[in-house]
Amino acid sequence: MFPAPLSVLQTLVNGFMDRTFLIGIAISMRRITIGYGISVIAGILLGLLIGRVKLLDETVGSLVLGLQTLPSITWLPLALLWFGLNEKAIIFVVIMGAVFSITIGTYSGVKGVPPLYLKAGRNMGAQGYQLFLQVIIPAALPSIVVGLKQGWSWAWRSLMAGEMIFASLGLGFLLMMGRELNDMSQVIAVMIIIIIIGLVVEKLIFAKLESNLYERW
């Protein structure tokens, strides 16, 4: 039930040679790019609004905190009812998996902006969107980046869970095909690919972003 390392290596080689893994990676990356991109825009905007508007903080803020504790895969039944067995359902699950983490990270950053920064910004003439762009967002950026990083992790996990539920190609589908065919070498090989992609994104994007941010601060 546990494959030999050489068997897994051979499966990896064969999967890339016949382009099975390449196609799965391309499909999964397209889905995560779309879903995570929408989550970033929606999450940051919602977090900024909740953090600055008291009425939204007292109403929507509590709802967001509650929804963030909900496992993202529980949105899949609704997604299937609303969108059917198609790409939109999986992307919806990815969005719901990531958007609340990003929202909470942004909200925490906005709430943590020292009032002195806001007073100084207003005294120097920053009002409205200028206050957001030149004072609030830069001051909240460390927390926003943490939220983006957490959102990516949840989005990636949500994508794999969604792809495993029904036939949709992608890496999650290849993982389940390995199980259906009792091919443990393929299962482990796909797991290795998923881990490597996660590490590459972490090291090439978020690690550099955090490093540059801390150096800037």
For position 15, which CATH number holds?
1.10.3720.10
Range of the domain at 66: 5-215
Q: What does the pLDDT read at residue 167?
A: 61
Q: Which amino acid is at 72?
A: S
**What is the residue whose two structure tokens read 């397209």?**
30
Strand segments (E) across the chain? none
Q: What does the pLDDT read at residue 197?
A: 93
SS3 (DSSP) at 113:
coil
Q: What does the pLDDT read at residue 37?
A: 95
Q: What does the pLDDT read at residue 31?
A: 92
Count of structural domains, the chain: 1
Distance of alpha carbon 114 from alpha carbon 159, whole angstroms: 37
Distance of alpha carbon 44 from alpha carbon 102, whole angstroms: 6
Q: How many CA atoms lie within 13 A of 38 on its CB side?
A: 14
Q: Which amino acid is at 69?
A: T
What angle (nearest 5°) sits at the alpha carbon of residue 91, between those of residues 90 and 94?
90
Residue 146's φ and ψ, nearest 5 degrees, are: -60, -45
Q: How is 124-189 classified by DSSP, letter by letter? A: TT--THHHIIIIIHHHHHHHHHHHHHHHHHHHHHHHHHHHHHS---HHHHHHHHHHHTT-HHHHHH
Q: Which amino acid is at 40?
A: V
pTM of the predicted structure, to 2 decimals: 0.87
Q: What does the pLDDT read at residue 170?
A: 86
Question: Mean pLDDT for each 10-residue chunk of the chain (217 residues)?
Answer: 87 90 92 94 92 82 81 86 86 91 91 86 82 85 90 90 79 88 90 92 86 81
